[in-house]
Structure 1
Amino acid sequence: MLRFEIQQILLAIATFLFCNMASASEDIADKYPESMLYNKPVEVIPNVWSAIGATAPPDYDNTGHNNNLSFIVTGDGVVVINGGAAYKLAKALHNEIVKITNQPVKLVINENGQGHAMLGNSYWAEQGVPILAHIDAANEFKDRGYMLLENMRRYNLEKAEGTFVTAPTETFEQRRVINMGKFRIEVLHLGPAHGPGDTQVWLPDEELVIAGDIAFHERMLPLFEDTIAKDWIETWDAGFEALDATYVIPGHGHPTNMDQVRRYTRDYLVYLRAQIGEHIDNGGDLAEAYYIDQTAFEGLDTYEELATKNAGRVYEQMEWE
């Protein structure tokens, strides 16, 4: 009974927090001008914090902070989730952490092999902090790290200073359990989703998942060349949904719940495959596929940039299924 009452209190706190956060908008250039961070970190539930990134593409104004940079204050050290897009951005996050706690950062977890998850490893490595990533994410970054660095330098200009390619110091394949302070932290790779080595950080006692890019909220997800929509849906149904999380910190967008991220991630992928499947059945070609009806999702940020690209990717995947 006590555990149920505590969960209800935490749910009420989180609901209040989520409802009172400003709506995401890719039109807001920077919501925390005194810091390299796009947003000041907020406490999602007790001792779990997240600096919510912009829902726009990475650019100079948001310093590449267009994903969520989270951290857990365990009582025996801090665990950071995501290295950040640049050395200075990671340092800015650390500056906020030391305002909140005098506990040292003991681990950084990269949620995937993308630049905004790993380029900030350069700062954390200089602090002597171990860095953990899935083996596939580490290999992705090994292959593409210097290209990602050059891309970041082009938009971040002097804000990129100090950043260098730094690989994770540790890797895992399916699951790594970390018991630190008051927290049991399960670092998971549930299967193929948005990109190689997608990683989820699950706090079973708190029923909270720091989802990484398996889950999107408030902005349209992008499908990369190696993103297979069918596999993403299967990973969601077989693994992510089974967590039955009460709280979700998605890879992009404000903290929310499973219903919301399901709507904007899994359900979008299912819808897109259904629309493309019908288009193929009717003899439609790739040129026409770009313009299938996606207006049900046009309220999402990055819709204009991504909707047609996503449709083309799914057509190419489904054409020979």
Structure 2
Amino acid sequence: MRFIALICTLIAAPALASEDIPDQYPASLLYSKPVEVIPHVFSAIGATAPSTYDNAGHNNNLSFIVTGDGVVVVNSGGSYLLAKALHDEIKVVTDEPVKLVLTENGQGHAMLGNGYWAEQGVKIVAHSDAAAEFAEYGPQSLSGAQGRLKDRAEGTEVVAPTETFEDSFDASLGDIKIEARYLGPAHSPGDIVVWLPQQSLVISGDVAFHERMLPIFDHTYTADWIETWENAFEPLGATYVIPGHGHPTNMDQVRRYTLDYLVYLRGKIGEHLENGGDLSEAYYVDQTPYAHLDTYEELATKNAGRVYEQMEFE
């Protein structure tokens, strides 16, 4: 029950994940100190803001699972030094070695720390589409990180995953069953979830959002994301959800701010199209029910424009 209470406390205190707080853990490059979400599963919650020098590029969640036979890390981190900072915190929690890193997608904040883990001899696993995305855009991600993070990007290089998979990867260690799964198209190419069936916990990566507005990119096909959610993600029936960004929560919360938002925005754009509206007006469809989310100002109009461009030809 105390872990359910922890989840409820985190849900009730969204200010702790505010994009207005530059750094919650000055003793480390990590934005926040890892917390034990349920027994043996920890997460260092990143800022719900864009990557900045102040947050050291830690604007997504970096999680790890202590299995009794080694540690499984989820996301390598957004830089070499950020990966090292996470490893330093892992060593405080356990003497078990890190044996595996799973990366949630091909974005920089999931993979730019690969070089550190490769130096430690750790296997780094990603979906094949995520690996291809990182191979194509990794140099661009690195250049952006170097510009933002300056000295905090020291040592960071583009290092590919050591292994890829298509549908699922068995990451079980010790007594903990761990499944990395590709459920279908979602936020970005190669998005995976990490599913712990015995604990009813999913580390959802960018398949699910709740405290910050989700971004819709050029390659984000919202109709496919909705289908993936309804046919594969929701049926997991997870009790606990560690999203890609924001505090650990539950399925109701991420449904409200991911699936429901996608359906809502597509509905608004659909009405706009039916009324003969053009792209310039589509940017300003009403999204005020979601205006309280972090990054709303940065993303709402962009999201509307991209959904218009998709739905115009559906």
Using the size of structure 2 for normalisation, the TM-score is 0.98
Find out whether 1:292 has 2:285 as its counterpart.
yes
Q: For 2:184, which of 185, 188, 191 is the aligned residue?
A: 191
- 8 Å Cα contact 1:17-1:44 kept in structure 2: no
2:172 counterpart SS class: strand
- 8 Å Cα contact 2:10-2:249 kept in structure 1: no
- 8 Å Cα contact 1:56-1:66 kept in structure 2: yes
The residue number in structure 2 matching 1:260 is: 253
Find out whether 1:278 has 2:298 as its counterpart.
no
The residue number in structure 2 matching 1:153 is: 146
The residue number in structure 2 matching 1:67 is: 60
Q: For 1:163, which of 134, 156, 159 is the aligned residue?
A: 156
TM-superposed CA distance for 1:105, in Å, is 0.2
- 8 Å Cα contact 2:10-2:248 kept in structure 1: no
C-alpha separation in 2, matches of 1:178 and 1:229: 29
2:169 counterpart SS class: strand
C-alpha separation in 1, matches of 2:100 and 2:163: 10
C-alpha separation in 2, matches of 1:17 and 1:223: 26
C-alpha separation in 2, matches of 1:222 and 1:98: 34
TM-superposed CA distance for 1:176, in Å, is 1.1
TM-superposed CA distance for 1:178, in Å, is 2.5
- 8 Å Cα contact 2:3-2:37 kept in structure 1: no
Supply the RMSD in Å over aligned alpha carbons: 1.2
2:132 counterpart SS class: helix
| Residue-by-residue CA offset, 1:206-232 (whole Å, 9 max, x unaligned) | 000000000012100101110011110
| Residue-by-residue CA offset, 1:273-314 (whole Å, 9 max, x unaligned) | 000000000000000000000000000000000000000000
- 8 Å Cα contact 1:54-1:65 kept in structure 2: yes
TM-superposed CA distance for 1:15, in Å, is 3.2
1:179 counterpart SS class: coil
The residue number in structure 1 matching 2:208 is: 215
Unaligned runs of 5+ in 2: none
Unaligned runs of 5+ in 1: 1-7
**Number of residue pairs the alignment of both structures matches:** 314
- 8 Å Cα contact 2:51-2:58 kept in structure 1: yes
Q: For 2:312, which of 303, 315, 319 is the aligned residue?
A: 319
The residue number in structure 1 matching 2:169 is: 176
C-alpha separation in 1, matches of 2:235 and 2:225: 14
2:242 counterpart SS class: strand
